[in-house]
Amino acid sequence: MKKNFKLYGIIIFVVAVVILSISITNFQKQSTLLREEIFDKCKMIALELKHMREYLAETMATANMEHNETTRMFMPAMAGNEIGKKFYNETGYQLRQVSSKYRNPKNKPDSFEQIALTEFEKDKNLSEYKGVEKMGGQKVLRYLIPLYIEEACLKCHSAKETIPEIIQEDYPEDKATDYVFGDLRGAISVAVPIDRAEAEIKENLIHMTIVTTIGMVFLVTFVYIAMNITIKMSDKKKSN
């Protein structure tokens, strides 16, 4: 009986260790999957914004649109800023357009974005730059794609004297001029906090681990009791 009880203890211990290690592996796997999924979403959002910006730049050029107070909100970066704000309010995904040679100081890159821009500058084939960072005490996924100067961009990003007057007046400290076709102009930057999503995964897994452990303890106990009864019965039979 004593021996059996020891065996019961060992089995419970082994089962608990197995369940715990499965849970930890599961958590790591699900966290990786979650990150991949969010990075995929970032890519889609960034590409969508990139194409929308290009479309606006091209349309403004082909329509020969005047650049004034009324039409300024159609400028690609302006539209991007406004759409970014709405998008953030609804989804929590932060969208920015950044550049080392910024026109608006609000678009100055932070340290992660600056590293990405330097990498894009070094390697023209690099189509994205991503990572995980602590921002304001929160774990955040960062994702950037490069923006290159196309024909339509030159209207507002070439030599200072040639760009629309309204831009010259609005941005006296403008650094975003003198670009030529093919230059790296900046990047679209997406930031997504993942603390909440990871906490949810953790909570679900802890819940599952507790339920599985209780279930397994019941099962092992049941087998242990059944085994003892069988042994006792066969002992009785033998002594008879």
Footprint of ligand HEC (CB under 6 A): 53-54, 57, 60, 67, 75-78, 81, 97-99, 102-104, 106-107, 147, 149-150, 152-153, 155-157, 167, 176, 185-186
Nearer to ligand HEC, 51 or 196 (CB): 51
Question: CB of residue 148 vs ligand HEC: minimum separation in angstroms?
Answer: 7
Rounded Cα–Cα distance for residues 125 and 51 (Å) = 18
Question: CB of residue 167 vs ligand HEC: minimum separation in angstroms?
Answer: 5
For 13, phi then psi, to 5°, come to -65, -50
Nearer to ligand HEC, 23 or 107 (CB): 107
Rounded Cα–Cα distance for residues 5 and 181 (Å) = 79
**CA-derived radius of gyration, the chain:** 30
Nearer to ligand HEC, 38 or 60 (CB): 60
Nearer to ligand HEC, 119 or 198 (CB): 119
Question: CB of residue 96 vs ligand HEC: minimum separation in angstroms?
Answer: 8
Q: What sign for the dihedral angle of Cα 228, 233, 236, 238?
A: negative
Nearest residue to ligand HEC, scored by beta-carbon proximity = 153
8 Å CB contact between 6 and 224? no
Question: CB of residue 158 vs ligand HEC: minimum separation in angstroms?
Answer: 10
Buried b (16+ CB within 10 A) or exposed e, 81-112: beebeebeeeeebbbbbbbbbbbbeebebeeb
Nearer to ligand HEC, 99 or 209 (CB): 99
Question: CB of residue 79 vs ligand HEC: minimum separation in angstroms?
Answer: 10
Nearer to ligand HEC, 57 or 190 (CB): 57
Question: CB of residue 150 vs ligand HEC: minimum separation in angstroms?
Answer: 5
* Residue 141 identity (one-letter amino acid): L
Please state, in angstroms and as integers, the Cα–Cα distance from residue 139 to each residue in 2, 31, 43, 192, following that order.
51, 12, 19, 9
